[in-house]
Amino acid sequence: MQELLFGPLLLTWGPPVLAFIKQHPWQVFAAVLVFVLLMDLMFRKRPSGDGGDFGGLDFGGDGDCGGD
């Protein structure tokens, strides 16, 4: 059944997609990398009480906004 669904799709879109990938390999790699990073950012499990830090980064300091 899947052959009936994807067969014509691969025959019509396969060669143009492969030609584009051969012409622009770094752009395709960059697009895939951005997509994977965005999916990771969207679906990563985060603890509920993260303490208000900035994405898990700790910039140090005691939080008094500078000064002496």
Please tell me the total count of domains within the chain: 1
Residue 62 within a domain: no
Domain around 26 = 2-41
Is the pTM higher than 0.85? The answer reads: no
Cβ(64)–Cβ(58) below 8 Å: no
pLDDT tens digits, one per residue of 31-52: 999 999 999 999 887 665 555 5
Q: Is residue 58 part of a domain?
A: no
Range scoring the smallest mean pLDDT among 28-32, 53-57, 58-62: 53-57
Beta carbons of 28 and 20 less than 8 angstroms apart: yes
Flag whether 57 is in a domain.
no
pLDDT tens digits along 4-15: 556 676 678 788
Residue 25 belongs to a domain: yes
